[in-house]
A and B are shown apart, each in its own frame.
Chain A
Amino acid sequence: MALEQALARLQDLPLPTQIRESDWLFPTIETVHVFALVLVVGTIMTVDLRLLGIANKERPFSQVAAEMLPWTWTAFAIAALAGMLMFSSKALIYYGDIPFRLKMVCLLLAGINMAMFHWLGTRHLEAWDRGRPPRAAKLAGGASLLLWTTIVAAGRWVGFTT
């Protein structure tokens, strides 16, 4: 109940109210969110496909990751900021929405997977860099592909349920 009161107070603040009531503000922020998210998904999938041994097979994993991940984090920061602004405009509706909750859970799991894969990857860099990817690398890549696909799907469903 306290959380719902806090969310109600959040969406009544001047900026969230302006986003909700404006004709162009919400679509503009949503466009920025989608554009950034598209780049997050595209760059992460490039790394995932390398982990699975499908794309960029002849290049070291560390090189592909070093090229892609700075873009991933930059785009993620922009997507997260735009997402928070969108959330603040209809906080109570989003909070009660099942696809939105699924998206948040998958984001958390994708973050955990990424942290684990970073930890494992740096410990076994030699094995991940050359030849056929080890099972742990394939598992991390597969889980990431699945989670990001679910994040996109849940995000799209939010548009139909809120």
Chain B
Amino acid sequence: MIQEFCDWLSMTNVSVAFQSANWFVPTVQTIHIISIAILLTSVYVVSFRLIGVTRGGQPLAVLVAKSTPWVWITLCVLLGTGILLTITEPARELLNWVFRVKMLMVVALAGILLVLQTRLRRSPEYWTESPMRRFAARAIGIAAVIIGAGIVTAGRWIAYV
């Protein structure tokens, strides 16, 4: 069924137009990569603080409040450019298990950040209020670093698997 959908999508006028413009894929991929650069840096700045690699400077709540708008904006750009790339080469993405793993990791990262952000909105001291929460914050930071690296890795391996 997915195969049939890919075949149909790749024959649509939009897909054919994207495929025949040599500049289209590299240009969209460039925007995609720059968005990942901003997203990953924003996520890592917060994650390293949660893990304790970086200390001092702004309070965690301020750091998260400043970083998360960049995360959500770049995630929207990534979604938009990702859809354009999928329309251009549907089978390359939708039939590839690496692409599916990448999408799962994107959802997981967005979920983690949402939990982090909403708890901090409730109380700026939320993640430091008890040893258990400090441990959870550390775990969230480590998970975000690993998932972020995983998203980049999967993104590159889509081309090879």
Contacts and interface: CB of A to CB of B under 8 A. Distances in A.
The answer to whether A and B come from one shared complex is yes
Interface stretch (B75-83, B108-116, B148-156): B148-156
Nearest to B58: A59
Contacts of A38: 33, 36-37, 40-41, 152
Interface stretch (B22-30, B117-125, B136-144): B22-30
Given A45-B41, A160-B26, A152 B153 contact: no
B6 interface: no
A63 B44 contact: no
A56 interface: yes
Contact of A153 (B30, B149, B155, B160): B30
Given A35-B149, A160-B26, A56 B156 contact: no
B54 interface: yes
Interface string A19-57: 000000001001100110111011101100000000110
A27 B44 CA distance: 24
Interface string B33-60: 1101111111011000000001001100
B66 interface: yes
A153 B26 CA distance: 7
Interface of B: 22, 25-27, 29-30, 33-34, 36-42, 44-45, 54, 57-58, 66, 70, 149, 152-153, 155-157, 159-160
Ranked nearest first, the 8 interchain pairs of A and B with the lowest CB-CB distance are A42-B41, A42-B37, A41-B37, A153-B30, A38-B37, A31-B156, A27-B160, A35-B152
18 contacts: A27-B156, A30-B156, A34-B33, A34-B155, A35-B149, A38-B37, A39-B40, A41-B33, A41-B37, A42-B41, A42-B44, A45-B37, A152-B33, A153-B26, A153-B30, A156-B26, A159-B26, A160-B26
